[in-house]
C-alpha cells in the first residue's frame, strides 16, 4: 500500500486546505460517537481530490470540518494560509465568502433568483463585481445558454446542478467543496457535471474536493482518499473506475476481517 | 387519525401559540366588556336597593324630563298617604344641578350628581337619611348638607354656604344648620352632593309654588306586600304619575345610570371586533402555512388510506382545540380586564361592592366567538389540506401558485362599483342619503381592495424594495416579501384594515378642524367665547343669565357682547321637528360678529315672530323670504315670518330667531356668549375678567378664539384618539401576524438560509434580510391602508362640504407620516425574533434540513 499520508502537521505552501490530527466527537458518555480519529491530510492546490468511504466512515464530516461548516473537536485546520481554529462566526463567514465554494447534492438554489442571479449570489453578498471575462468563461463552461434567465423551478436537475457549479466557480475560491454533487442526478447529467469539474481543474487550475461513494465519479479525480472508521486508510493517485472499485473491495475485505 | 392530529398539534404548539394569542385578545375584550357591564349593573342595583331599602312603593311623574312635569298637590299627597296599608311616607321635593361652592376658594364643587331636597324639619320617616349634628333647616336661609358635601365644600355647621339654584339661575348664600348622613354610617351613597332646604322654600324655588311635590315614597304596613300596596295606590293615582315597587324603582334607576357607563362597554366591544377580524387573517395565514409545510405528511396519511374528509377534519380539529384554549385564556384575561376597569371606575365613584359578575351568557359568547372565528379562519386551509394528492408523499409535487386572475376579477367586481358609489356620494348633491351611498361604496371598495391586495403586493413591494433593499441581503429580503403575494397580502391585511379606518378618520377630522380654523381666522370679529357645558339637551335651563353680559360690556376694551340662547328640545318649524334646535339672539349683532351672507331677503335684528334660516334648511322646508310658517318652541306654536335666508357655514347654521322668543324657551339662560374687542385690546385679561363674572354659573367656560376652535374640535379629537387606540390594538395583532408569518417562512426556507450563509452571508446580513421582508410587508399594508383611508376620508369630507360642514379637504400629512413611521418600527420589532431564529441556525444543519 502506498502511504503518502503524513502523520505530522503539513506546512507545504502548495496546499489549498489542510487538516492535522483532526478529531471530531459527537455526544458524550455512552452516546459518544467518534466520527474522525486524528485525520491529517493536505489537499494540493490545483488538483481534484475525491474522498470516498462507506456510510459512517466520516467522509462528509471531514469535508464539513475542512470547509469551516463544522467545528473540530481537536486538531489544526487551515484553508490557504488562514487557520480555521479560533475563527468566530464572522471570521468563518468571511472565509466562506472569500475562499470557499460549495456544491451540494440537493443543488440548493434560491427559488426567488434566476439562474444568473443564483450564480452571481456569492459575489453579490461579498459586494464584488464579477470579472466579465471569467464570468463568460464560466457560463460557457456550464453551457446554460439561453436558460440564464430562468428560475430554478423551470430547470431540470442537471441544469440546476450546473448552475450550482457555476455559482461555486464564479468567485474563483481557494477551494471548492462538493458534497455528492451527482447523487441526485441521472448518469448522463452526472457525467456532464463531473466533466465540468474536471475541466475547471485542468484548464483553470481550480482546487476541488469532492465527497462521493460512486467509483465512477471518483475516477474523474486526480487523487482518491479512502476513509473508514474516521481514519484515512488508503489513497489512490490517477484513479480509474476499476482501480477504485478494486480498492473498495479490498477495504471491505480488510474491514470484514477486522471485525471477525 | 385523531391521535395523529393531536400529536401534530403538540409538535406545532409554538407556531400555533400566536394564533391562540389573537383569539385570546378578541375573547378577552368581549368577555371583559360583558363582565364589566354586568358587574357595574350589579353595583348600581345594590346602590339603589340601599336607597329603597324601606320603600315599598314609589310614585313619580311619568315624564320627569318634560318642560312642565306633573306635580302632586297637598291634597293628592294626603289622599295617597291615607291609602289602606301605608305605614309611612316621604314626599319628594327635589331638583338636580343644585351646586354648592367651596367655602375656601369659591369654586363650584364638582360631582357627578348635585341634588337639592326640601325637608319638613322632621326626621326621615323612611329611615334613609339621619341627622348627625345640628338640626334640620326651618327657615329660608338655612340648609342641612350631607357629610360628604361638607367635606367637598370644606364647610362645617354654622358656616355660610353659597349654592347655585338651577331654577332661579343664580347662587344664594345659606347658613349650614345641620350635617346629615345615611343609615349605616355612610357619608354618601355614590359620591353625590346633597343640599337640603326648608320644604316651603324648596317648593317655591324648584316648582314655583308651595304645596307641590314631585312624588313620594311609601312604606307598607306589616302583612301588606309591595305589590298589593302598589295596586291600591295605582287606583288613587292622579294623571301624569306612575307607581313602582321599591324593587322596580331600583332596577329602573340602575338601568338609567348604567347607560352612562355603556361607552366603556362599546369601546371594549370595538376592540373585540377589531381583534376578531384581524385574528381571522392571522389564524388563516397560520393554518395555511402549516398545511403547506405538512404537505408530505398529509400526503402520507392520504397514501395510507385516510379520506379527504379525515384530513380536513384533522385540521379543523386542530383549529377547534386551539380555539378552546384561546377562548379559555381569553375569558380569564377578560375577567381581569373587567376587574381593572371596575377598579378604575369605582375609584372615581363610590359604589357598594357586589363582586365580579360572570354571567353564563358571557362564558357562552366568549367560547362562541373564539370557536367561530377560528373555524371560519381554518376552513379554507382545511379544504386545501384535503386536496393534497397522495403522490405528494413520494416526491415534491410542484403546486404552482394559483393564478391571481380570478381573485383579482372578483376584487374588481367589488371595487369598481364601490368607487362609482363613493364618487356619486362625494360629488352628486344627494343631501343626507349621500352618506349612506358613501358608506356602501366604502365597504365595497374596501372588500375589493383586500381582494386585489395580492395583485398589488408584488409591484408595490418591489417598488419599495428598490428604495430600501440595497445590498444583496436587502435584495433577498425584497424577493422573499414579493415571492408569495397571497401570503404577503394576507399578512398585511390586519394593517390595511386598521390603517384604512384611522386614515379615513384622521382625514375627516383634519379637514373639519382646518375648515373651522380657516373660518375662525381673520374674518370673524369674536375674540372671547362663553360656553355652557352640556350635560343634557340644551333648552335654556343650563348656561348663564344674559344679564351677566351687562357686566361684561362694562369691561374696558369690550366692543360688543352677544348672548345666544339655544333650545334643542321639542322645536319644530313648518310642522317638521328640528333635531338641531333653534337659536335666539340679536341677529343684527351676530351679522357684525360673524360672516353671514344673505342669499334671500335680509339679515337684520329680528322682531318677535320673525326668523332667518340657512339655505340648506330653507331648501328642506321649502321656505323663502316673506313666507309665514308655524314655529313650535317650548310647547307654544306661533306663526313666524321668514325675514331672510343665509348661506350656511361651518360655524353659523340653523334657524335663528330674535331675543323676544326666549320667553317661549323652557329656560331663560343663554347657552353661548360672544364678545368682540376694540382694536389692539389683548384678549387674555378680558378672558380673566369674564371668568370672574361667570364664576356664579357652574359649568360655564370662558376662552379665547383658539379655545373655541379647540373645544369645537375636542369631540373629534376624542374620536381620533379612540380610533388610534383601536389602531394600536390592530397593529399589535398585525405585528404578531407578521412575526408568525416570518417564523413559519423561516422554518420553510431553512435550506435557503443555510445556503446563503454557506456562500458567505453574515449573521447581520441575514438579520437585515429578514428585517427588510418584515418592514416591506408592514409598509405595504400601511401604504395601501393610507391610500384607501385618505381617499375615502376625502370623499366623506367632500360630502360634508356639500352640506357646509367643512370648507376644505385637508390631509393630515404629519399624522400619516407618524403612522408610516410606526409601521416601520412595528416591522422592525416583528422581525426581531424571526431574525434571531434565522441567525442562530447552524449552517450545516440548515443546508441538510428536510
Per the prediction, chain B carries an average pLDDT of 84
| Minimal C-alpha gap between B405 and chain A (Å) | 21
The helix/strand/coil state of B539 is coil
Task: Please indicate whether, in this complex, the C-beta atoms of B758 and A127 are within 8 angstroms of each other.
Answer: no
Lowest mean pLDDT among A165-174, B375-384, B840-849: B840-849
Q: Is A146 within 8 Å of chain B by CB?
A: no
Q: Is A89 within 8 Å of chain B by CB?
A: yes
* Banded model confidence at residue B201, pLDDT cuts 50, 70, 90: very high
Show Cβ contacts of residue B411 under 8 Å, excluding neighbours closer than 6 positions.
B447, B448, B449, B450, B451, B452, B455
Which of B479, B757, B758 is nearest residue A112 as measured by Cβ atoms? B479
Strands of the sheet containing A33-44, edge to edge, are A33-44, A15-26, A74-79, A82-83
Q: Is B758 within 8 Å of chain A by CB?
A: yes
φ, ψ at B762 (rounded to 5°): -80, 170
First to last CA, chain A: 22
Give the span between the Cα atoms of B325 and B347, in whole angstroms. Answer: 33
Residue A49: per-residue pLDDT: 94
Please compute the mean of the pLDDT values over residues B360-389 and round it to a whole number. 87
Residue B393 scores a pLDDT above 70: no
Which has more confidence, B276 or B1?
B276
Task: Please indicate whether, in this complex, the C-beta atoms of B761 and A90 are within 8 angstroms of each other.
Answer: no
Task: Please indicate whether, in this complex, the C-beta atoms of A167 and B758 are within 8 angstroms of each other.
Answer: no
Residue A5: per-residue pLDDT: 40
Give the span between the Cα atoms of A180 and A103, in whole angstroms. Answer: 8
Supply the angle between the helices B763-802 and B813-840 in degrees, to the nearest 10: 160
Find the radius of gyration of the CA atoms of chain B: 34
What grid cell was written down for A238? 490517477
Of B266, B271, B318, which is closest to residue B291 (Cα–Cα)? Answer: B318
Q: DSSP state, B206?
A: I
Please compute the mean of the pLDDT values over residues B562-569 and round it to a whole number. 87
Rounded to the nearest 10°, the torsion over CA A119, A123, A129, A132 is: -30
B605 CB burial (10 A radius; 0-12, 13-18, 19+)? middle
Give the span between the Cα atoms of B515 and B512, in whole angstroms. Answer: 5
Lowest mean pLDDT among B94-103, B199-208, B530-539, B672-681: B530-539
Which spans in B237-307 are helix H? Answer: 246-258, 262-293, 295-303
- How many contacts (CB atoms, under 8 Å) link A and B? 72
Element (H, E) at B118: strand B114-119
Highest mean pLDDT: which range of B52-66, B247-261, B807-821 = B807-821
Task: Please indicate whether, in this complex, the C-beta atoms of A89 and B763 are within 8 angstroms of each other.
Answer: yes
Q: Is B755 within 8 Å of chain A by CB?
A: yes
φ, ψ at A19 (rounded to 5°): -135, 140
Which has more confidence, A18 or B186?
A18
Which of B752, B759, B848 is nearest residue A122 as measured by Cβ atoms? B759
| Minimal C-alpha gap between B769 and chain A (Å) | 11
How confident is the model over B579-599, as pLDDT tens digits? 778 999 999 988 888 888 889
Give the span between the Cα atoms of B761 and A94, in whole angstroms. Answer: 8
Cβ-contact B119, B137 below 8 angstroms: yes
Element (H, E) at B631: strand B628-633
Please compute the mean of the pLDDT values over residues B630-659 and round it to a whole number. 88
What grid cell was written down for A257? 476481517
How confident is the model over B437-489, as pLDDT tens digits? 888 999 999 999 989 999 999 899 889 888 876 778 888 888 888 888 888 89
Which spans in B349-432 are helix H? Answer: 360-386, 405-427
Give the span between the Cα atoms of A220 and A238, in whole angstroms. Answer: 9
Element (H, E) at B775: helix B763-802
- Which one of B760, B763, B776, B840 would you mutate to disrupt binding with A, by most A Cβ within 10 Å of its Cβ? B760
Chain A residue with minimal CA distance to B751? Answer: A108
Which of A69, A124, A153 is nearest residue B758 as measured by Cβ atoms? A69
Task: Please indicate whether, in this complex, the C-beta atoms of B759 and A94 are within 8 angstroms of each other.
Answer: no
Q: What does the longest C-alpha to C-alpha distance in chain B come to? A: 102
- Which one of A68, A87, A93, A103 would you mutate to disrupt binding with B, by most B Cβ within 10 Å of its Cβ? A93
Which has more confidence, B52 or B439?
B439
Lowest mean pLDDT among B5-14, B164-173, B705-714: B5-14
Measured between beta carbons, which residues in chain A are less than 8 angstroms from residue B471? 127
Q: Is B67 within 8 Å of chain A by CB?
A: no
Lowest mean pLDDT among B246-255, B299-308, B314-323, B780-789: B299-308
Residue B843: per-residue pLDDT: 83
| Four-residue CA torsion sign, B597, B601, B604, B609 | negative
Report pTM.
0.71
Q: What does the longest C-alpha to C-alpha distance in chain A come to? A: 59
| Four-residue CA torsion sign, B305, B307, B310, B311 | positive
Residue B260: per-residue pLDDT: 66
Residue B306 scores a pLDDT above 80: no
The proportion of chain B whose per-residue pLDDT surpasses 90, expressed as a percent, equals 19
**How far, in Å, are A170, B230, B666 from residue A102 at the CA level?**
11, 95, 91
Give the span between the Cα atoms of A117 and A115, in whole angstroms. Answer: 5
Please compute the mean of the pLDDT values over residues B276-298 and round it to a whole number. 80
Cβ-contact B807, B515 below 8 angstroms: yes
Lowest mean pLDDT among A239-248, B254-263, B284-293, B551-560: B254-263
Rounded to the nearest 10°, the torsion over CA A125, A126, A129, A133 is: -100
Measured between beta carbons, which residues in chain B are less than 8 angstroms from residue A172? none
Q: Is B762 within 8 Å of chain A by CB?
A: yes
φ, ψ at A217 (rounded to 5°): -65, -40
Which of A93, A109, A111 is nearest residue B762 as measured by Cβ atoms? A93
| Minimal C-alpha gap between B840 and chain A (Å) | 10
Measured between beta carbons, which residues in chain A are less than 8 angstroms from residue B843? 69
Task: Please indicate whether, in this complex, the C-beta atoms of B765 and A125 are within 8 angstroms of each other.
Answer: yes
How confident is the model over B601-613, as pLDDT tens digits? 999 999 999 999 9
Residue B14: per-residue pLDDT: 60
Please compute the mean of the pLDDT values over residues B294-303 and round it to a whole number. 75
Task: Please indicate whether, in this complex, the C-beta atoms of A90 and B765 are within 8 angstroms of each other.
Answer: no
Lowest mean pLDDT among A6-10, A144-148, B2-6, B29-33: A6-10
Of B598, B576, B513, B501, which is closest to residue B800 (Cα–Cα)? Answer: B513
B673 CB burial (10 A radius; 0-12, 13-18, 19+)? buried
Residues of chain A under the 70 pLDDT cut:
1-13, 253-260
Please compute the mean of the pLDDT values over residues B565-574 and round it to a whole number. 85
Q: Is B424 within 8 Å of chain A by CB?
A: no
Cβ-contact A47, A235 below 8 angstroms: no
Residue B534: per-residue pLDDT: 67
Residue B311 scores a pLDDT above 90: no
Task: Please indicate whether, in this complex, the C-beta atoms of A127 and B398 are within 8 angstroms of each other.
Answer: no
- Which one of B462, B484, B759, B841 would you mutate to disrupt binding with A, by most A Cβ within 10 Å of its Cβ? B759
Residue B1: per-residue pLDDT: 53
Cβ neighbours, 10 Å, residue A227:
25
Task: Please indicate whether, in this complex, the C-beta atoms of B756 and A110 are within 8 angstroms of each other.
Answer: yes
Q: Is A125 within 8 Å of chain B by CB?
A: yes
Residue A91: per-residue pLDDT: 86
Give the span between the Cα atoms of B216 and B243, in whole angstroms. Answer: 10
Which of B471, B472, B760 is nearest residue A96 as measured by Cβ atoms? B760
Measured between beta carbons, which residues in chain A are less than 8 angstroms from residue B395? none
Chain B residue with minimal CA distance to A118? Answer: B756
Strand partners, A61: none
At which residue does the C-alpha cell 306589616 appear? B222
| Four-residue CA torsion sign, B154, B156, B158, B161 | positive
Give me the interface pTM, i.e. the ipTM: 0.77
φ, ψ at B96 (rounded to 5°): -95, 165
Residue A12: per-residue pLDDT: 45
Measured between beta carbons, which residues in chain B are less than 8 angstroms from residue A90? 762-763
**Angle of CA points A38, A39, A40, to nearest 5°:** 115
Chain A residue with minimal CA distance to B765? Answer: A125
How confident is the model over B725-765, as pLDDT tens digits? 777 877 887 888 888 888 888 888 888 888 888 888 888 88
DSSP per-residue letters across chain A: ------SS----TTEEEEEEEEEEEES-GGG-EEEEEEEEEEEETT-EEEEE--TTSSHHHHHHHHTTSS--SEEEEEETTEE-TT--HHHHHHHHHHHEEEE-TT----TTS-HHHHHHHHHHHHT----HHHHHHHHHHHT-GGGTTS-GGGS-HHHHHHHHHHHHHHT--SEEEEESTTTTS-HHHHHHHHHHHHHHHHHH---EEEE-S-HHHHTTSSEEEEEETTEEEEEEES--HHHHHHHHHHHHHHHHHHH-
Q: Is A97 within 8 Å of chain B by CB?
A: yes
Measured between beta carbons, which residues in chain A are less than 8 angstroms from residue B752? 108, 110-111
Of A149, A67, A167, which is closest to residue A109 (Cα–Cα)? Answer: A167
Residue B349 scores a pLDDT above 70: no
Chain B residue with minimal CA distance to A63? Answer: B844
Q: DSSP state, B403?
A: P
Of B478, B805, B780, which is closest to residue B648 (Cα–Cα)? Answer: B805
What are the sequence ranges of the domains in chain A? 46-69+87-259
Chain A residue with minimal CA distance to B847? Answer: A108
Give the span between the Cα atoms of B183 and B604, in whole angstroms. Answer: 60
Give the span between the Cα atoms of A250 and A243, in whole angstroms. Answer: 11
Of B238, B199, B203, which is closest to residue B70 (Cα–Cα)? Answer: B238
Residue B395 scores a pLDDT above 60: no
Residue A62: per-residue pLDDT: 92
Residue B581: per-residue pLDDT: 84
* Banded model confidence at residue B711, pLDDT cuts 50, 70, 90: confident
Please compute the mean of the pLDDT values over residues B205-226 and round it to a whole number. 88
At which residue does the C-alpha cell 375584550 appear? B29
CATH of domain A46-69+87-259: 3.40.50.300
Cβ-contact A4, A11 below 8 angstroms: no
Our measurement of the distance from residue B541's CA atom to the centroid of its chain's CA atoms, rounded to an integer in Å, reads 26
Measured between beta carbons, which residues in chain A are less than 8 angstroms from residue B483? 111-112
| Minimal C-alpha gap between A106 and chain B (Å) | 8
Which of B480, B761, B843 is nearest residue A69 as measured by Cβ atoms? B843
Q: Is A154 within 8 Å of chain B by CB?
A: no
Chain A residue with minimal CA distance to B473? Answer: A125
What grid cell was written down for B96? 338636580
Chain A residue with minimal CA distance to B769? Answer: A125
Q: Is B480 within 8 Å of chain A by CB?
A: yes
| Helix and strand totals (H; E) in chain B | 24, 26
| Minimal C-alpha gap between A60 and chain B (Å) | 11
Residue B648 scores a pLDDT above 60: yes
Q: Is B763 within 8 Å of chain A by CB?
A: yes
**Angle of CA points A14, A20, A23, to nearest 5°:** 145
A114-142: burial string, b at 16+ Cβ within 10 Å, e else? bbbbbbbbbbbbbeeebeeeebeebbebb
Measured between beta carbons, which residues in chain B are less than 8 angstroms from residue A167? 759
What grid cell was written down for B521? 381666522
* Banded model confidence at residue B302, pLDDT cuts 50, 70, 90: confident
Amino acid at each position: 500500500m502506498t502511504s503518502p499520508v503524513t502523520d505530522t502537521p503539513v506546512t507545504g505552501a502548495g496546499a489549498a486546505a489542510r487538516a492535522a490530527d483532526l478529531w471530531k466527537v459527537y455526544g458524550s458518555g455512552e452516546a459518544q460517537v467518534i466520527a474522525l480519529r486524528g485525520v491529517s491530510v493536505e489537499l494540493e492546490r490545483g488538483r481534484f481530490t475525491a474522498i470516498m468511504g462507506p456510510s459512517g466512515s466520516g467522509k462528509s464530516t471531514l469535508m464539513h470540518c475542512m470547509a469551516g461548516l463544522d467545528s473540530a473537536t481537536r486538531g489544526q485546520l487551515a484553508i490557504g494560509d488562514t487557520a480555521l481554529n479560533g475563527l468566530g462566526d464572522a471570521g468563518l463567514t468571511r472565509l466562506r465568502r472569500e475562499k470557499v465554494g460549495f456544491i451540494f447534492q440537493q443543488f440548493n438554489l434560491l427559488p426567488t433568483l434566476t439562474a444568473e442571479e443564483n450564480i452571481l449570489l456569492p459575489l453579490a453578498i461579498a459586494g464584488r463585481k464579477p470579472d466579465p471575462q471569467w464570468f463568460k468563461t464560466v457560463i460557457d463552461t456550464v453551457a446554460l445558454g439561453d436558460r440564464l434567465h430562468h428560475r430554478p423551478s423551470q430547470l431540470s436537475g442537471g441544469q440546476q446542478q450546473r448552475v450550482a457549479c457555476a455559482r461555486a466557480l464564479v468567485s474563483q475560491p481557494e477551494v471548492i467543496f462538493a458534497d455528492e454533487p451527482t447523487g441526485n442526478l441521472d448518469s448522463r447529467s452526472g457525467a456532464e457535471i463531473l466533466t465540468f469539474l474536471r475541466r475547471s481543474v485542468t484548464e483553470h487550475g481550480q482546487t476541488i474536493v469532492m465527497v462521493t461513494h460512486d467509483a465512477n465519479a471518483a475516477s474523474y479525480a486526480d487523487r482518491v482518499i479512502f476513509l473508514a472508521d474516521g481514519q484515512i486508510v488508503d489513497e489512490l493517485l490517477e484513479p480509474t473506475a476499476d482501480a477504485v472499485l478494486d480498492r473498495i473491495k479490498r477495504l471491505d475485505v480488510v474491514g470484514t476481517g477486522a471485525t471477525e | 387519525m385523531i391521535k395523529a392530529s393531536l400529536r401534530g398539534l403538540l409538535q406545532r404548539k409554538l407556531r400555533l401559540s400566536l394564533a391562540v394569542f389573537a383569539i385570546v385578545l378578541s375573547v378577552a375584550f368581549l368577555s371583559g366588556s360583558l363582565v364589566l357591564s354586568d358587574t357595574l349593573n350589579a353595583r348600581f342595583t345594590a346602590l339603589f336597593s340601599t336607597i329603597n331599602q324601606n320603600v315599598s312603593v314609589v310614585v313619580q311623574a311619568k315624564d320627569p324630563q318634560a318642560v312642565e312635569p306633573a306635580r302632586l298637590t297637598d291634597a293628592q299627597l294626603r289622599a295617597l298617604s291615607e291609602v289602606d296599608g301605608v305605614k309611612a311616607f316621604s314626599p319628594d321635593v327635589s331638583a338636580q344641578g343644585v351646586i354648592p361652592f367651596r367655602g375656601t376658594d369659591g369654586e363650584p364643587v364638582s360631582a357627578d350628581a348635585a341634588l337639592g331636597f326640601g325637608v319638613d324639619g322632621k326626621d326621615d320617616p323612611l329611615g334613609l337619611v339621619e341627622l348627625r349634628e345640628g338640626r334640620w333647616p326651618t327657615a329660608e336661609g338655612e340648609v342641612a348638607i350631607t357629610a360628604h358635601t361638607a367635606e367637598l365644600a370644606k364647610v362645617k355647621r354654622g358656616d355660610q354656604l353659597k349654592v347655585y339654584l338651577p331654577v332661579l339661575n343664580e347662587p344664594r348664600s345659606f347658613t349650614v344648620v345641620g350635617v346629615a348622613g345615611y343609615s349605616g354610617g355612610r357619608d354618601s351613597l355614590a359620591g353625590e352632593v346633597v343640599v337640603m332646604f326648608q320644604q316651603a322654600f324648596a317648593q317655591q324655588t324648584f316648582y314655583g309654588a308651595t304645596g307641590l311635590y314631585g312624588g313620594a315614597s311609601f312604606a307598607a304596613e306589616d302583612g301588606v306586600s309591595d305589590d298589593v300596596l302598589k295596586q291600591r295606590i295605582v287606583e288613587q293615582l292622579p294623571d301624569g304619575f306612575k307607581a313602582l315597587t321599591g324593587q322596580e324603582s331600583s332596577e329602573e334607576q340602575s338601568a338609567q345610570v348604567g347607560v352612562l357607563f355603556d361607552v366603556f362597554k362599546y369601546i371594549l366591544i370595538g376592540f373585540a371586533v377589531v381583534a376578531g377580524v384581524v385574528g381571522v387573517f392571522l389564524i388563516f395565514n397560520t393554518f395555511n402555512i402549516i398545511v403547506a409545510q405538512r404537505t408530505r405528511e398529509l400526503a402520507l396519511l392520504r397514501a395510507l388510506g385516510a379520506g379527504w374528509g379525515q384530513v380536513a377534519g384533522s385540521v379543523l380539529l386542530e383549529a377547534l382545540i386551539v380555539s378552546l384554549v384561546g377562548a379559555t385564556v381569553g375569558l380569564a384575561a377578560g375577567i381581569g380586564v373587567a376587574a381593572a376597569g371596575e377598579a378604575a371606575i369605582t375609584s372615581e365613584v363610590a359604589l357598594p361592592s357586589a363582586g365580579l359578575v360572570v354571567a353564563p351568557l358571557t362564558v357562552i359568547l366568549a367560547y362562541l366567538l373564539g370557536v367561530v372565528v377560528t373555524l371560519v379562519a381554518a376552513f379554507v386551509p382545511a379544504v386545501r389540506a384535503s386536496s393534497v394528492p397522495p403522490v405528494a408523499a413520494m416526491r415534491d409535487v410542484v403546486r404552482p401558485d394559483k393564478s391571481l386572475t380570478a381573485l383579482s376579477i372578483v376584487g374588481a367586481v367589488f371595487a369598481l362599483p364601490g368607487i362609482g358609489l363613493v364618487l356619486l356620494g362625494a360629488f352628486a348633491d344627494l343631501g343626507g342619503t349621500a352618506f349612506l351611498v358613501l358608506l356602501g361604496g366604502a365597504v365595497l371598495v374596501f372588500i375589493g381592495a383586500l381582494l386585489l391586495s395580492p395583485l398589488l403586493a408584488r409591484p408595490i413591494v418591489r417598488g419599495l424594495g428598490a428604495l430600501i433593499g440595497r445590498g444583496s441581503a436587502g435584495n433577498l429580503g425584497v424577493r422573499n416579501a414579493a415571492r408569495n403575494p397571497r401570503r404577503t397580502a394576507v399578512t398585511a391585511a390586519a394593517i390595511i384594515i386598521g390603517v384604512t379606518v384611522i386614515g379615513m378618520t384622521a382625514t375627516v377630522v383634519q379637514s373639519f378642524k382646518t375648515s373651522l380654523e380657516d373660518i375662525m381666522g381673520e374674518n370673524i370679529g369674536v375674540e372671547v367665547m362663553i360656553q355652557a357645558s352640556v350635560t343634557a339637551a340644551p333648552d335654556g335651563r343650563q348656561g348663564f343669565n344674559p344679564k351677566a353680559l351687562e357686566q361684561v360690556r362694562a369691561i374696558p376694551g369690550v366692543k360688543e357682547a352677544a348672548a345666544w340662547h339655544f333650545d334643542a328640545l321639542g322645536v319644530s318649524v313648518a310642522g317638521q321637528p328640528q333635531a338641531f334646535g333653534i337659536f335666539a339672539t340679536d341677529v343684527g349683532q351676530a351679522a357684525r360678529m360673524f360672516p353671514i351672507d344673505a342669499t334671500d331677503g335680509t339679515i337684520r335684528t329680528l322682531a318677535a315672530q320673525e326668523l332667518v334660516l340657512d339655505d340648506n334648511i330653507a331648501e328642506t322646508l321649502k321656505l323663502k323670504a316673506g313666507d309665514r310658517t308655524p314655529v313650535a318652541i317650548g310647547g307654544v306654536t306661533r306663526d313666524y315670518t321668514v325675514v331672510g335666508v343665509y348661506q350656511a357655514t361651518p360655524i353659523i347654521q340653523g334657524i335663528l330667531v330674535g331675543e323676544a322668543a326666549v320667553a317661549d324657551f323652557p329656560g331663560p339662560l343663554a347657552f353661548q356668549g360672544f364678545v368682540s374687542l376694540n382694536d389692539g385690546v389683548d384678549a387674555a385679561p378680558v378672558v380673566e375678567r369674564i371668568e370672574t363674572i361667570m364664576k356664579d354659573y357652574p359649568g360655564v367656560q370662558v376662552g379665547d378664539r383658539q379655545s373655541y376652535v379647540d373645544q369645537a374640535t375636542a369631540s373629534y379629537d376624542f374620536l381620533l384618539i379612540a380610533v388610534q387606540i383601536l389602531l394600536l390594538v390592530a397593529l399589535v395583532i398585525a405585528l404578531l401576524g407578521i412575526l408568525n408569518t416570518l417564523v413559519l417562512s423561516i422554518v420553510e426556507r431553512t435550506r435557503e438560509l443555510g445556503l446563503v450563509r454557506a456562500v458567505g452571508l453574515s449573521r447581520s446580513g441575514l438579520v437585515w434580510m429578514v428585517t427588510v421582508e418584515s418592514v416591506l410587508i408592514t409598509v405595504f399594508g400601511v401604504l395601501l391602508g393610507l391610500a384607501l383611508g385618505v381617499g375615502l376620508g376625502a370623499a366623506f369630507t367632500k360630502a360634508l362640504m356639500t352640506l357646509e360642514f367643512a370648507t376644505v379637504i385637508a390631509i393630515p400629512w404629519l399624522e400619516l407620516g407618524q403612522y408610516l413611521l410606526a409601521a416601520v418600527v412595528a416591522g422592525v420589532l416583528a422581525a426581531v425574533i424571526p431574525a434571531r431564529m434565522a441567525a442562530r441556525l447552524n449552517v450545516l444543519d440548515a443546508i441538510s434540513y428536510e
